[in-house]
A and B are shown apart, each in its own frame.
Chain A
Amino acid sequence: MKRKVLSTLLAATMLTGLLAGCGSSQEPAASNNEPAATTPAADTPAPAQTTPAADNAETQAAVDTAADEGKVLNVYCWNDEFYRRIRDHYPNYEVIDATHGTIGDVSVVWNITPNDDNAYQNNLDETLLRQADAATDDKIDLFLVEADYALKYVDTEFTMPVKDLGITDADLENQYQYTKDIVTDSNGVLKGVSWQGCPGVMFYSREVAKDVFGTDDPAEIQQYVKDWDTFNETAKTLKDKGYYVASSANDTYRVYSNNVTSKWVVDGKINIDENIMKWVEDSKALVDAGQIGTHDLWSDDWSRGFYPDGKVFSYFGPAWLVNFSMAADKEGSIGNLGGWAATEGPQGFFWGGTWICAAAGTDNASLVKDIMLQMTANEEIMKEIVVADDDFVNNKPAMNAMAEDTSYSSKILGGQNPLAMYCAGVEGLDLSNLSIYDQGCNEEFQNAMKNYFDGNTDLDGALDLFYKAVVEKYPELTY
């Protein structure tokens, strides 16, 4: 008898243990609500004093209507850039911790998934596809996309037209046209907004310029890099003094690839543009001469040029690169000492950019609308962003005014005001050749060509590898 009791007990223990794993998954969601509940309702101070009265009223309205909307704003993004912009510039945002905050009585949950290995998009895809069935507080309200894959999301039902949020064309009239082109779907409906423009320039090290050319004046340096042939000549001069013209062949890639005249995919067939083949040819010569590296972007080897020891003359990029990604906050880096300068470089280009999209089915429509308007159409806030973060914002009058403002200068660029250069570049951007395959094609092309540059295969072998990798990613394509 005793044994029977004992075995019953044992079996019961085992079953409880087995089932204990289930059932507690709701807890985190519940605790997310807590901050909202404990935040006093009166926590709606007037927004930053700089905000014009009209916007002020709008913020007030947004917070009021939010009362009958969802209490949780879910934001999906891949790094803390947008988080920092909201934290520093959005009126009423209160920090709780790195991934939680509040706006009025709505709690903001930041779901930050890094871009590596496509993790951000995988996560976003799965959540968006489940959006219809999700509890209202778990629905994505707002997510960010990049130019490379914006069309993948914009050209679907999962993204809400900004018009449906109540944002009019007049609200956005000061934004650069190309930022709207990228997030306009195939029916011509605008589905996202951006606070930044990403025209790229060439950043070069002042110290190296002085050492090699005897001057660090942007106008004079421009003469050494005014087109690709001159650029390649300059690379030889730099090599003689022991410097690399740029960190990696992948640095110049976007400059070539943004000046293409055809899309990556034409009628379901993979197509390589002439200008991209020119990149291959030019880069192979530079790599063989030891004038440029073949590192992957963002790798440690690539980043060595952020410091004087890296012996790198230039990087190509838009405002956010020099501000956000080039170790300017680390002591001893070139950026930290104000050692960079900007010049147009051989060709105009853009790189990246972040767009804010509203997810269809959001339960915080008015708050999403307000965030979009405040961050991308409020001139005062956008000027603040330029001054505080060296960003190039998506607002023509603000940028033109700042470009002429002699009192504004970038610390990282050694006191230069680069905005006129950006303003000039942004007007010439032609984004008619984007496709939903851009991200995969660009990545795989650079991966494949790295093998060619390193001498592990010939050009045909590398092209073959590229086709193979692209078809793996997009099985519907042929070559």
Chain B
Amino acid sequence: MKSRKQSKVVSYNKWGYIFLIPFIVVYIIFQMIPLVTTVINSFYENYRSGLTQIGPNFIGFKNYATILQNADLWTYAKNTLIMWVMGFVPQILVSLLLGAWFSNPSLRLKGQRFFKTVIYLPNLIMASAFAMLFFTLFSNSGPVNSILMQAGFISEPFKFLSNTWSARSLVAFMNFLMWFGNTTILLMAGMMGIDTSLFEAAEVDGATSTQVFFKITLPLLRPILVYVMITSLIGGLQMFDVPQILTNGTGDPMRSTMTLIMYLNKHLFSKNYGMAGALSVLLFIVTGILSMFVYKATNRNQE
């Protein structure tokens, strides 16, 4: 009897491994292999001119040198960060506000479910479709210009996509619209996880709702905030679809909306796996460092 029980324990371990197989298989095929080949590719000269394949020839770190010596890389990194910050700041503020309202039982908001669904909806639209919609809305003869002209605000169509800051704002606004619902849901989950007795105690002590928010909710929400911040930062560094479709891949005006991944995509016209690989590896390292930095910084403050 005893020995049978023991064998059962062992066999359950076995099941555990078996159930891990799908993840491992998917991970190896879709993550591990591409990751390794990307790194390998980055050391080769490997592109296609027309239908003629050039390379792969091993050239060491030459691709990295070419990319890092290119001053434009920093411009594209700056563009990416600017557009991310422009989208992220309003996103986190609005999400915090909505999250606080939704999770506050004393407000007794009506139709909560409805609004939660509605704010999440933009995320369900494909980014490319969303960008196409905005492209049409804000084109020179599009509806937004027509409305502004008819209302008398402007006399000539404003070229939204030919102006650095309006183009960047559009990208940021779209990212904000797409992601604030998602963030709200996450923050709300975090807020509802906070022990209600803390709120009650604060209320008994005569704290105002502003004080409750800043002294109780926000500090206790830190882990979730860190998570939101890191995922958003990684997502922001990989910003691609919205500006790509909105500017037709050109990053106009003057590549001021060109993000790092759009730049990477430019190399794929000639199937330049070497340069694209090197850029991906750099991006991978930067993402790793930034994530660690944010994580450490926010955790230390908590102590």
Interface residues of A (CB under 8 A from B): 4, 7, 11, 14-15, 18, 117-118, 125, 128-129, 151-153, 155-156, 158, 293-296, 299-301, 304, 436, 440, 447, 450-451, 454, 456-457, 461, 465, 468-469, 472-476
Query: B217-258: which residues lie under 8 A (CB-CB) from chain A?
Result: 248-250, 252-255
Contacts A299-B139, A475-B270 hold; do A451 and B254 have CB atoms under 8 A apart?
yes
Closest chain B residue to A296, Cβ basis: B248
With A15-B21, A454-B162 already in contact, 12 other A-B pairs whose C-beta atoms are closer than 8 Å:
A11-B19, A18-B22, A125-B48, A152-B51, A301-B140, A440-B269, A450-B252, A454-B253, A461-B254, A465-B254, A475-B270, A476-B54
Contact A447 B141 (CB under 8 A): no
Question: What is the CA–CA distance of A451 and B159 in the complex, to the nearest angstrom?
Answer: 12
B85 to chain A, nearest CB (A): 22
B15: interface (CB < 8 Å): yes
A170 to chain B, nearest CB (A): 31
The number of chain B residues touching the other chain, given as a range, is 35 or more
Question: What is the CA–CA distance of A300 and B140 in the complex, to the nearest angstrom?
Answer: 9
Contact B15 A472 (CB under 8 A): no
B residues in contact with A476, CB < 8 Å = 49, 54
From B136, B162, B254, residue with most partner A Cβ within 10 Å = B254
Contact B252 A447 (CB under 8 A): yes
A-B contact pairs, 23 of them (CB 8 A): A7-B15, A11-B15, A11-B19, A15-B21, A18-B22, A117-B249, A118-B269, A125-B48, A129-B51, A151-B50, A158-B51, A294-B162, A300-B141, A301-B141, A436-B50, A450-B162, A451-B252, A454-B162, A456-B252, A472-B270, A473-B270, A475-B272, A475-B275
B residues in contact with A294, CB < 8 Å = 162
Question: What is the CA–CA distance of A14 and B270 in the complex, to the nearest angstrom?
Answer: 41
B59 to chain A, nearest CB (A): 12
Contacts A296-B248, A461-B254, A472-B269 hold; do A454 and B51 have CB atoms under 8 A apart?
no
Interface residues of B (CB under 8 A from A): 11, 15, 18-19, 21-22, 25, 47-52, 54, 72, 136, 139-142, 159, 162-164, 248-250, 252-255, 266-267, 269-270, 272, 275
B residues in contact with A129, CB < 8 Å = 51
B65 to chain A, nearest CB (A): 14
Q: Which of A125, A158, A299, A456 contacts B162 (CB 8 A)?
A: A456
Q: Which of A296, A447, A473 contacts B269 (CB 8 A)?
A: A473
A13 to chain B, nearest CB (A): 11
Question: What is the CA–CA distance of A117 and B240 in the complex, to the nearest angstrom?
Answer: 14
Contact B49 A474 (CB under 8 A): yes
Question: What is the CA–CA distance of A156 and B267 in the complex, to the nearest angstrom?
Answer: 23
A residues in contact with B52, CB < 8 Å = 156
B266 to chain A, nearest CB (A): 4
Question: What is the CA–CA distance of A151 and B51 in the complex, to the nearest angstrom?
Answer: 10
A residues in contact with B272, CB < 8 Å = 475
Question: What is the CA–CA distance of A295 and B266 in the complex, to the nearest angstrom?
Answer: 22
B residues in contact with A295, CB < 8 Å = 140
Contact A456 B255 (CB under 8 A): no
B132 to chain A, nearest CB (A): 11
Closest 9 pairs (CB-CB, A-B):
A456-B253, A152-B50, A454-B162, A472-B266, A473-B269, A156-B51, A301-B140, A447-B250, A456-B254
Contacts A300-B141, A304-B141 hold; do A474 and B15 have CB atoms under 8 A apart?
no
Contact A156 B50 (CB under 8 A): yes
B residues in contact with A158, CB < 8 Å = 51
Question: What is the CA–CA distance of A356 and B51 in the complex, to the nearest angstrom?
Answer: 18
B residues in contact with A304, CB < 8 Å = 141
Contact A465 B255 (CB under 8 A): yes
B25 to chain A, nearest CB (A): 7
B259 to chain A, nearest CB (A): 15
B residues in contact with A465, CB < 8 Å = 254-255
Contact A125 B250 (CB under 8 A): no
B170 to chain A, nearest CB (A): 16
A150 to chain B, nearest CB (A): 11
Question: What is the CA–CA distance of A450 and B250 in the complex, to the nearest angstrom?
Answer: 11
Question: What is the CA–CA distance of A184 and B54 in the complex, to the nearest angstrom?
Answer: 24
A128 to chain B, nearest CB (A): 7
Question: What is the CA–CA distance of A151 and B266 in the complex, to the nearest angstrom?
Answer: 22
Contact B136 A300 (CB under 8 A): yes
Closest chain B residue to A457, Cβ basis: B254
Q: Which of B19, B51, B139, B250 contacts A153 (CB 8 A)?
A: B51
Contact B49 A300 (CB under 8 A): no
B residues in contact with A300, CB < 8 Å = 136, 139, 141-142
B199 to chain A, nearest CB (A): 43
A106 to chain B, nearest CB (A): 27
A residues in contact with B254, CB < 8 Å = 451, 456-457, 461, 465
Question: What is the CA–CA distance of A113 and B49 in the complex, to the nearest angstrom?
Answer: 21
Question: What is the CA–CA distance of A308 and B18 in the complex, to the nearest angstrom?
Answer: 69
Question: What is the CA–CA distance of A299 and B162 in the complex, to the nearest angstrom?
Answer: 14
A residues in contact with B139, CB < 8 Å = 299-301
A residues in contact with B140, CB < 8 Å = 293, 295, 301
Question: What is the CA–CA distance of A10 and B154 in the complex, to the nearest angstrom?
Answer: 66
